[in-house]
Structure 1
């Protein structure tokens, strides 16, 4: 049975790339798509920023044909502004619009957006209904279990948001108060999946960082697909490794040093293409440590990579890494 969001066919068990601020930009999405991500999302975009026509928010609307299916994720605290932002985002021609009711960080949640809507379900439902009415595209939602341990209300949220027209729901297995600490709990996600009233796809998110965990949780928690976030940073191969394990029951060998250098170089080039040389090089710095994680005595190279300002110099260091570490097992 294929999983469908509206008319978007995602195959029998899709792997989704999570929308992550300052990470899920087009260059990163490119390398994840190449390695098997079935569905991806933009970084979350402020509804206020879109309405004000802020350059940073507008740039995040960039979507490319090779990324499809792709969702634009928006967040905000004002219902009318979310409606307007939906109209703006729809014009960028994504495949769907996603609403962020899960972001726990202070400057989002403490301004009445993101996860803070879990404290006001009526407003969340009204906001969602307004977004659904403002676009012809399927609308999906990403949220958490609740605000804290005493208010795990996502069961009610799932029913009510389905009733106003969302086409899929992704649930991160933590409360807002947990932030990213502790262990994700997917038991409530399974309860929602088992609810006979729920007809839309339910995706699980939180702590999936290996093929065996993905396979075990697929069976244990009965979700329709899995969204992967932090485990893909600097390791886009996670998608292909999980798919290989699903298909064969065997582990794919991890990426070689050559592959790590190749994908890192592609990511760098895409970053420069999209953002220009200066910003593209600067923003790539957060990724190097993850691409080469586990390589012994790598610090000297990492320090070079995060300090160099010319693409030719960075490529020289990557070439050096390829030659020096090509026999190292990671």
Structure 2
């Protein structure tokens, strides 16, 4: 059984939803946080970098690892591996639109071959005892909107929940997510359906739920630089007071803590580079003056970055809407 309390989930995002970021989001409250996509064969064969992507904070509730692949054997083996290491939920990626993924017949390319997609689902479900979920798009393109049928067959195969990004693969991230189109998936299954795409605040979440009839929402890019936004969305959906976003010294302390967690996770050399995108997003929200922003993002010494952070969030720039 998958908890949807609150019914606001963190989307898997390549290069973003690593363990430090997921832990930060979870500290504010989330129904579920999902790892960045992990290539199943590379995971089993211990390719460099795959372990870090799948690192879960083993044994932590409300956390999932997302697997991608095109061969049932490797998908099943990877699922067994991450379950043995403490994964509470396994998510199958059939929604990634990136050419490097779809050209290998993984991600959303699987929506073009539902029979093969089902063979992967059956292999993973049969390999583990933890819940298995599925993330897809509406279809490959406007002529192949087969998410309802795929979801129905996935439920029959044992999938416990399905998340639908309200775009086709061929849309990538262009245009607007079609939340209303997700309703056809909701009507095709009895398991929970989660709406994903363009959900950034309480208003968009409420609208997505209204149009889709979904059981919850999944937030992706809207959480970049705003790890607290899931808790704000959850409060607005529940009709409870919206928690304030941290500002000033509280925000500087939060960013410094996340920065140090990234350095600890990746090591100082790589960590300084990995952390820069997060620092940039945090400073976007704080309207950090351009010269100071540049200094923070070009500093190669971690101690120097930590000295600069309080000034970057001291309120000299008006905060963007949280």
TM-score by length of 1: 0.91
Measured in 2, the distance between the counterparts of 1:66 and 1:48 equals 23
- The one-character-per-residue Cα deviations of 1:153-203 (angstroms, maximum 9, x if unpaired) are 0010011111111000000000000011110002221122133xx121100
Aligned to 2:76: 83
Runs of 5+ in structure 2 lacking a partner?
Answer: none
- The one-character-per-residue Cα deviations of 1:59-114 (angstroms, maximum 9, x if unpaired) are 22322158421111110111222122222222221111110000000110111000
The answer to whether the 8 Å contact 1:146/1:175 transfers is: yes
Measured in 2, the distance between the counterparts of 1:68 and 1:250 equals 25
Aligned to 2:4: 10
Residue 275 to residue 57, structure 1, CA distance change in 2 (3 Å): same
Aligned to 1:286: 277
Question: What is the aligned counterpart of 1:162 among 155, 158, 164?
Answer: 155
2:56 matched to 1:98?
A: no
- The one-character-per-residue Cα deviations of 1:265-311 (angstroms, maximum 9, x if unpaired) are 12101101111111111100011221121544622122111211222
Aligned to 1:3: none
Residue 239 to residue 67, structure 1, CA distance change in 2 (3 Å): farther
Residue 229 to residue 96, structure 1, CA distance change in 2 (3 Å): same
Measured in 1, the distance between the counterparts of 2:49 and 2:231 equals 31
Moved more, 80-89 or 128-137: 80-89
Aligned residue pairs, count: 320
Measured in 2, the distance between the counterparts of 1:154 and 1:169 equals 10
- The one-character-per-residue Cα deviations of 1:214-246 (angstroms, maximum 9, x if unpaired) are 123223321111110000011112112112222
Question: What is the aligned counterpart of 2:309 among 303, 306, 318?
Answer: 318
Alpha-carbon offset, residue 329 of structure 1 = 4.2
C-alpha root-mean-square deviation of aligned residues, in Å? 1.8
Runs of 5+ in structure 1 lacking a partner?
Answer: 1-5
The answer to whether the 8 Å contact 1:218/1:225 transfers is: yes
Aligned to 1:140: 133
The answer to whether the 8 Å contact 1:33/1:67 transfers is: no
What secondary structure, in the 3-state scheme, does the structure 2 residue paired with 1:285 have?
A: helix
The answer to whether the 8 Å contact 1:30/1:67 transfers is: no
Aligned to 1:220: 211
Measured in 2, the distance between the counterparts of 1:66 and 1:77 equals 27
Aligned to 2:236: 245
2:200 matched to 1:209?
A: yes
